[in-house]
Chains A and B, each alone.
Chain A
Amino acid sequence: MSNEPDGLRKGSSRNDAPVATAEPASSSDSARVSPADAFFKNLTRSAGLGLLVLIAAIAAFLVLEATNALSANTGNFLTTTEWFPNSSPPFFGVAALLFGTLLTAVIAMVIAVPVAVGIALFITVYAPRRLATPLAFIVDLLAAVPSVIFGLWGLIVLVPRMEGIQKFLTEYFGWIPLFATQNSVVGRSVFVASVVLAIMILPIVAAISREVFLQVPIAHKEAALALGATRWEMIRTAVIPYGKPGIISASMLGLGRAMGETIAVALVLPASFGISWKILSPAGNTIAANVANGFAEANTVGRGALIASGLVLFIVTMIVNMIARAVIARRREFSGAAA
């Protein structure tokens, strides 16, 4: 995963380390840089700087818009669950939306990631080549399809058929608080929204996991087999540990998509504001869906409030990504980057 040189990789390369880690020649070579080199260097530099400026401008705009709305807010933005930014005085908070966003995204991950990893393992390890090649092609193809297509399919085909599963869950597992319901079971629940999200992110997580598993060196797989590992034991000893950083990255990409998904969730959830763990009850909302539902009829403060909620989503996504990076970095020296 990393291109950083590792001087300890092999005994014989230790002696070469001082040479290999010598500073990239930039200052000493600058005297004889060709015009094409200079042009390309400036091109890439301005592209990089331009991106930073763009991000800063967006952030400044969002913060400015949000601050106006937040200063008009009579509620606590972080703890209030109601959302009345268009009334006067405005009273709104992101708590219920944030809760809904995290809950749907996490349930979607719990459903999608194991299935996606299973698909990837089947294609890379179990399937005969005749089957693996077309399957891999299809998964890659599906990953390239915009997720809203899966969302629509989920809504039209899946949601009407989810009622039975939901009834089953609440009847036999209702003793688990998560599956309890206070009123009748209908399609429009957090659970159904999560299933739709799971279907949306499944192909991308599966496609990336497959790529990752393909990178596992044959030497490691053979090492496990030669120790008398069965195929599943080989997967557990060599394939999954090696692919773990990649699976985490793929999951984060899926999580980002799940948290940012708008239309599908907006269509499924009844857009109620409240914090409830009862995922089968018809309730719930997410930040992205709320933006989609509310932006058209929002006044200035209302728009600022939605932008503020968007900033929260931005920050949460960043925190989740940073945690994921930290998890990967913690075991970096065991990641296989050195081998």
Chain B
Amino acid sequence: MATRIDVSGLTAYYGKFKAVSDLHFSIEPKSVTAFIGPSGCGKSTVLRTLNRMHEVLPGARVEGRVLLDGEDLYGPGVDPVNVRRAVGMVFQRPNPFPTMSIYENVVAGLKLNGARKKSLLDERAEQSLRGANLWEEVKDRLGRPGAGLSGGQQQRLCIARAIAVEPQVLLMDEPCSALDPISTLAIEDLIAKLKSSYTIVIVTHNMQQAARVSDTTAFFTLDKTGDPGRMVEMDKTEKIFSNPTEKRTEEYITGRFG
């Protein structure tokens, strides 16, 4: 199920503005990769190119190649809808569908895929909620609105919704930035657990979080406002946080810049 990602020559634009320029990197299967860097360096943009969510915004486009187990997501004839079914995403702010119950939220993706059988949906809903460490908290109120949960629970509900369709890769865009420390801890535990099944890429502003959850860390920066973001270096997390190769990285993680 887990999948490696190879990115080459990736450049992303918002209209005329070049947000990130000519990136080359690879992500190992069943690993957690963290993207860190100052605001505006393009780390979220890069994340959104990995499931073709970037191009949803008007005027946004991408150049270069993103290979998912050797298959180019941006190849001719590739339907972005199929890409997004294979590469799940969790957003910065929890965004359960407010008009749906907890249960309906979890199975929303399955229903989009055409699953209708009640027994299958029930089974996958429980499995996904257990997977997201949420089952025990919500099993007695699956029919209640998803938006009635606490922020941390909502975010785990969104993770359950994302993994219910059994994607190959899970992208997380600052999944804890709107959460309190206890909910953050719950999500981090969950990431550690999900790593055994999924390739995970997480964008975070919190360097401690990157150090705690990730195997590999990529540091992005931009030289000045208006310049495209670039990847300074990408290496094993312990190396980035103890002995980075680049001086910029060291300055950033020690808090002297950014």
Contacts and interface: CB of A to CB of B under 8 A. Distances in A.
Interface string B74-95: 0000000110110011010101
B151 A226 contact: no
Given A227-B165, A333-B145, A11 B152 contact: yes
B101 to A, nearest CB: 7
A220 B84 contact: no
B74 to A, nearest CB: 17
Interface string A328-339: 000101111111
Interface string A202-230: 00000000000000010110111111111
Nearest to B82: A228
Contact of A230 (B81, B151, B161): B81
Most buried by B among A9, A241, A338, A339: A339
A11 B97 contact: no
B98 A223 contact: no
B49 to A, nearest CB: 13
A45 interface: no
B53 interface: yes
B145 A334 contact: yes
B112 A229 contact: yes
A83 B23 CA distance: 81
Contact of B180 (A12, A223, A241, A339): A12
A104 to B, nearest CB: 32
A22 to B, nearest CB: 22
A238 interface: yes
A226 B148 contact: no
B97 A220 contact: yes
Chain A contact residues, majority secondary structure: helix
Contacts of B100: 241, 334
A335 B144 CA distance: 12
Contacts of B82: 228
A242 interface: yes
B150 interface: yes
Given A333-B148, A338-B148, A242 B98 contact: yes
B99 A335 contact: yes
Contacts of B85: 227-228
A222 B56 CA distance: 8
A167 interface: no
A129 interface: yes
Interface of B: 51, 53, 56, 58, 81-82, 84-85, 88-89, 91, 93, 95-101, 108-109, 112-113, 144-145, 147-153, 158, 161-162, 165, 180, 183
5 contacts: A226-B53, A226-B89, A238-B97, A333-B144, A334-B147
Return the 3 tightest CB-CB contacts between A and B, nearest first.
A11-B150, A228-B85, A336-B98
